[in-house]
Amino acid sequence: MTGVVLRWLRRNLFGNPFDTALSLVVIPVLAWAAYAFAYWILVEAHWEVIRGSLKVLMTGIYPTDQLWRAWFSVATLCAMFGAGLGLAVRPTRTALTIVALAGTLMAAIVANVIDVPSGMLTTASASLGVAAWIGVDHSALGHRIALPGLLVGVVAIFVVLSPPGFEVWGGLLLSIVLTIAVSILTLPFGILLALGRQSRIASLRVISTAYIETMRSVPLILVIYWIWIIVPLLAPDTSVPGLLRGMAGFALFFAAYVAEYVRSGLQAVPKGQIEAARSLAMSSWTVNVDIVLPQALRVVIPSLVGQILDIFNGATLVFIIGLTDFLRAGQMILADPQNSGRTYEIYVFLFAVYFTIGGAITYASRRLETHLAKGSR
Amino acid sequence: MNAIELPTATMSRSVIVSMARVNKSFGTFHVLKDVDLDVGRGEVVVIIGASGSGKSTLIRCVNGLEMYQSGRLTVDGFNMPTEADRAIGGEKELASIRKGVGMVFQQFNLFPHMSAIDNVAIAPIRVRGRKPNEAKATALRLLERVGLRDHAQKFPGQLSGGQQQRVAIARSLAMEPHIMLFDEPTSALDPEMVGEVLDVMRELAREGMTMIIVTHEMGFAREVADRVVYIDHGRILEIGTPVDIFDCPTHERTRTFLSRVLRH
């Protein structure tokens, strides 16, 4: 064992004089940085600030007596995530063990930091997710209801969360719900735009192309701001909540990108497929829905999952229309003079959470890519 | 059907495909020049010719995959719309024609995201409005007919070329066509798989299916064709029984072509 390690070290770090010199400089520097960072995390940092502000970070100014609604959302999100996994990844014993360990660790942390009931709720949510994963993977029925189930889940989250008012949604919950809702909304809109761009009807083609190119040539922040301003002008008598206006801006913007991904998928479907379908007297609708889109979407699923990450990271921009997303919640806590010395703690925490979620999405996108590549020989 | 019957004597039975002075161009390239051809019900017509001579284009016109500019083309009692007709909508007529015309492609073009049985059942379900259970039962019978009952649940990627082409034939038959078009059905196959596909086609011909076949398999053409059409640079040069065409071609060009393809 040590032999292997020594050989690896020799070959990769001390292979020639230059490598050796480089290693002698870089390794101590890295070791020192790692030590300093670990020392800061374990000894110097004052993590009570996180414990004290966790509620704000997670849910913003959502009323404390209504937090069960947030917990419902967490459980639903876990179930949706599990169902999504079940469609693509087998729950092998190793995978289940890893998830079980992670869930237990998470629950232990939550029980420690907040209180024991919250820890139990975390455990329950994680178990629900695992159950959905296994259920969807094992049964044909589960497979069939998984996608409609995701839609029902999103609607349920909105219905349950909305009674206290959209303006109190905040924190990580807002970021995640916004991301998921926008991801789902952009899909049908993007597909229609992609089909429109290829349509034989000239007016549809021109409108779709103009829309896509316009959206792709302006910054996201401009679109969000623009929709936020324009909706009250169009509907002066009704007050559309900022959250919904923000979501509309995101959806309108990212639909153009979805359209371009889908278009690349449509182009990847061989012409012979369309000819075969047409020669069987299928209507344009059937050709698109049953033959072309399933093949096209299969190709672009990894990119679409990757785009969820773009939306999630872009969700930080909703602060410009007065919403309190995760990042903004962190800044709000720092605005309290009492916490002014805790900048590093808050930002390290934000970084860790963003990194974990972003990493998970990237990993899922990779896995999907290999999984789909394996499926279509 | 006997060999003495006159090659052009399609009047004795009803005509299913009738082409009169059909012209087709891709831009400035004139592909089909004044093509006249009648195909009778139950007849097997084989089209031969050098590559680029327009034989694929000819049969692709019969189900409207290619548009023609002038002339008259009727298929199974329907007038095939010309390019100008289709620009102002004529797609409904096209769908009626396609329901009765099956087509088998060189590259099989099976739907890769569906199992063999779903490939066969999808068109009857979506186009003819059959119940999924009935359509699948029919599909299974058709797969049995082409010798692939045991492969019904496999996906195209798991089948050999010959098997895929036989599924493709079953898929066309599921629409209960009155006429079948074959566009070089064995050209993309490994030599050892050509036979299994030709066997299925032979069987179809025996059952009285009307077929228009573009192929380079001259032995097969001689065996199953009622008439052979030689096409050269978009023009039909000769039509006749296999004996006429293969043994005593009248045209110099036909002779050159045959000597080239029959030598090896």
- Please tell me if residue B132 touches chain A, with a CB cutoff of 8 Å: no
- Rounded distance, CA A214 to CA B57, Å? 41
Nearest Cα residue in chain A from B113? A295
Q: Any CB–CB contact under 8 A between A217 and chain B? A: no
The band of A343, judged by pLDDT with boundaries at 50, 70 and 90, is confident
Q: What is the ipTM of this complex?
A: 0.90
pLDDT value for B13: 64
Q: What is the pLDDT of residues A152-196, one digit of tens each?
A: 999 999 999 888 888 888 899 999 999 999 999 999 999 999 999
- Residues of chain B with Cβ-Cβ distance to A273 below 8 Å are 109, 111
In a domain, A55, yes or no: no
Contact (CB<8Å) B111/A273: yes
Across the interface, whether the CB atoms of A282 and B111 are under 8 A apart is answered no
Residues of B in contact with A279 (CB under 8 A): 63, 65, 98, 101-103, 172
Mean pLDDT in residue range A260-270: 94
Q: How far is B240 from chain A (nearest CA, A)?
A: 29
Q: Does the pLDDT value for residue A377 go beyond 60?
A: no
Cβ proximity of A161 and A73 under 8 Å:
yes
The C-alpha atoms of residue B253 and residue B238 are separated, in whole angstroms, by: 10
Interval B15-62: pLDDT, tens: 999 999 999 999 889 999 999 999 999 999 999 999 889 999 999 999
List the 55-84 stretch of A: residues with Cβ below 8 A of B. none
Alpha-carbon gap, residue A160 to A75, rounded angstroms: 12
Chain B, 159 to 188: residues with Cβ < 8 Å from chain A are 168, 171-172, 175
Backbone angles phi, psi at B20, to 5 degrees: -130, 120
* Residue B108 to residue A299: CA distance in whole angstroms: 21
Instruction: Say if residues B75 and B40 touch (Cβ distance below 8 Å).
Output: no
Domain residue limits at A209? 61-376
Q: Say if the Cβ atoms of B101 and A298 lie within 8 Å.
A: no
Q: What's the pLDDT score for residue B109?
A: 96
What average pLDDT score do residues B222-231 get? 94
Looking at the complex, does the CB of residue B157 fall below 8 Å from at least one CB of chain A?
yes
Query: Which residues does chain A have within 8 Å of residue B101's beta carbon, measured at their own beta carbons?
Result: 279
Same-domain check for residues A147 and A8: no
A12 and A102 housed in the same domain: no
- Among the listed residues A291, A373, A297, the one whose alpha carbon sits nearest the alpha carbon of residue B119: A291
Whether the full predicted model's pTM is greater than 0.95, yes or no, is no
DSSP label at residue A36 = H
- The count of CB pairs under 8 A between chains A and B is 60
Q: How many CB atoms lie within 10 A of CB A184?
A: 16
Pair A353, A326: CB distance under 8 Å: yes
A43 and A35 Cβ atoms separated by less than 8 Å: no
Higher pLDDT residue, B214 or A16?
B214
Q: Which of A368, A281, A370 is nearest to A84 (CA)?
A: A368
Asked if pLDDT for residue B200 goes beyond 80, the answer is: yes
Sign of CA dihedral B170, B171, B176, B178: negative
The single-letter code of the amino acid at A348 is V
Residues A87 and A154 in one domain: yes
Q: Considering only CB atoms, which chain A residues are within 8 Å of B99?
A: 281
Assess A377–B contact: CB distance below 8 Å, yes or no. Answer: yes
What number of other Cβ atoms are within 10 A of residue B119's Cβ?
28
Strands B44-48 and B227-232: parallel
Specify whether A23 is located in the same domain as A131: no
| Of residues A276, A294, A376, nearest to B109 (C-beta) | A276
Q: Do A281 and B65 touch (CB under 8 A)?
A: no
Within this chain, do residues A316 and A354 fall inside the same structural domain, yes or no?
yes
Please give the C-alpha separations between residue A142 and each of A29, A107, A131, A132, A365, in angstroms, as whole numbers: 52, 27, 11, 8, 22
**Which of A24-28, A84-88, A346-350 shows the lowest per-residue confidence on average (mean pLDDT)?**
A84-88
Determine the pLDDT at residue B12.
47
| Calpha distance A68→A80 (Å, rounded) | 18
**Distance from A297 to chain B by nearest Cα, in Å?**
11
CA distance to partner chain B, nearest, from residue A273 (Å): 6
User: In chain B, what residues touch A376 (CB-CB under 8 Å)?
Assistant: 112-113, 157
Q: Which is it for the CA torsion A310, A312, A316, A317, positive or negative?
A: positive
**How many angstroms away from the CA of B99 is the closest CA of chain A?**
5
Residue of A nearest to B121 (CA): A280
- The fraction of chain B above a pLDDT of 70, given in percent, is 94
Q: How many CB atoms lie within 10 A of CB B95?
A: 14
A282 touches chain B (CB under 8 A): yes
Q: What is the pLDDT of residues B131-152, one digit of tens each?
A: 999 999 999 999 999 999 999 9
How many distinct structural domains can be found in chain A?
A: 2
**Shared domain check, A99 and A22:** no
Q: How many other C-beta atoms are found inside a 10 Å radius of the C-beta of residue B12?
A: 8
Q: Which residue has the tokens 């179809």?
A: B204
Q: Percent of chain A scored above 70 by pLDDT?
A: 98
Q: Is residue A53 part of a domain?
A: no
Q: Beta strand B70-75 with B15-26: parallel, antiparallel or unpaired?
A: antiparallel
Q: Is the Cβ pair A270, B63 closer than 8 Å? A: no
Contact yes or no for B194/B186 (Cβ under 8 A)? yes
- Residue A226 in this model has a pLDDT that exceeds 80: yes
- By C-alpha distance, the chain A residue nearest B122 is A290
The length of chain B in residues reads 264
Tokens representing A52 are 């004290």
Does residue A52 lie within any of the structural domains? no
Distance from CA of B97 to the nearest CA of A (A): 8
Secondary structure E strands in A117-241: 170
Residue A151 one-letter amino acid? L
Residue A182 resides in a domain: yes
Q: Which of B112, B127, B172 sits opposite A295 (nearest CB)?
A: B112
A368, part of any domain: yes
CB B124 within 8 A of CB B130: yes
Please name the residues between 63 and 92 in chain B that touch chain A, using a CB distance below 8 Å. Answer: 63, 65
Report the distance separating Cα B131 and Cα B170, nearest Å.
18
Q: Is residue A335 part of a domain?
A: yes
C-alpha to C-alpha distances, A336 to A318, A329, A342, nearest whole angstrom: 21, 11, 10
Instruction: Please give the Cα distance from A181 to A266 (Å, whole number).
Output: 24
Calculate the CA A36 to chain-centre distance: 32
Nearest-10 crossing angle of helices B116-126, B132-145: 130
Q: Is the pLDDT of residue A135 over 80?
A: yes
Task: Mark whether A65 and A10 lie in a shared domain.
Answer: no
- How far apart CA B70 and CA B128 sit, in angstroms, is 31
Instruction: Specify the amino acid at residue B84.
Output: A
Shortest CB distance from B107 goes to which of A272, A283, A291? Answer: A272
Give the closest residue to B64 by CA, choosing from B91, B41, B43, B44.
B91
Q: Comparing C-alpha atoms, which of A336, A338, A317 is closest to residue A328?
A: A317
pLDDT (tens digit per residue) in A52-99: 888 888 888 888 888 899 999 999 999 998 888 888 778 888 888 988
Nearest to B105 among A276, A290, A291 (CB): A276
User: What count of Cα atoms within 13 Å lies in the side-chain half-sphere of residue A27?
Assistant: 10
Task: Please indicate, yes or no, whether residues A68 and A203 belong to a single structural domain of this protein.
Answer: yes
Q: What is the DSSP string of A245-274?
A: HHHHHHHHHHHHHHHHHHHHHHHHS-HHHH
User: A359: how many CB neighbours lie within 10 A of its CB?
Assistant: 11
Q: How many Å separate Cα A213 from the centre of its chain? A: 25
Please name every residue paired with A364 in a beta bridge, in sequence order, or none if there are none.
none
The 10 Å Cβ neighbour count of residue A79 is: 24
Give pLDDT, residue A375.
53
Considering only the beta carbons, identify the residue of B63, B112, B113 that sits closest to A279.
B63
Task: Let me know whether A133 and A183 are in one domain.
Answer: yes
Task: Report if residue A54 sits inside a domain.
Answer: no
Query: Is the pLDDT confidence value at B226 over 80?
Result: yes
Q: Compute the distance between CA of residue B170 and CA of residue B177 in angstroms, rounded to an integer.
A: 11
pLDDT at A269 over 70: yes
Do A229 and A352 sit in the same domain of this protein? yes
- Report the gap between the CA of B244 and the closest CA in chain A (Å): 33
Instruction: Note whether A291 contacts B: Cβ–Cβ < 8 A.
Output: yes
Work out whether strand B15-26 and strand B29-40 pair parallel, antiparallel, or are unpaired.
Answer: antiparallel
CB contact under 8 A, B65 and A291: no
Strand pairing partners for B17?
A: B39, B75
**Is the confidence at residue A306, as pLDDT, over 60?**
yes
Q: Please, what is the end-to-end C-alpha distance for chain B in angstroms? A: 31
CB contact under 8 A, B98 and A281: yes
Most A CBs within 10 Å: which of B65, B88, B99, B109, as the mutation test of the A interface? B109
Residues A72, A155: contact at Cβ < 8 Å? Answer: no
What CATH number does residue A318 fall under? 1.10.3720.10
Domain identity same for A35 and A141: no
Q: What is the arithmetic mean of pLDDT over B185-212? A: 94
A358: pLDDT strictly greater than 60: yes
Q: How far is A281 from chain B (nearest CA, A)?
A: 5
* Alpha-carbon gap: A291 to the closest alpha carbon of chain B (Å): 7
Q: Quick check: A340 pLDDT over 70?
A: yes
CB contact at 8 A, B71 and B49: no
Query: Is pLDDT above 70 for B264?
Result: no
For B30, which DSSP code? E
Instruction: Name the one residue in this structure whose structure tokens are 């993309």.
Output: B188
Question: Are A271 and A314 within one domain?
Answer: yes
> Which of B260, B147, B172, B78 is CA-nearest to residue A282?
B172
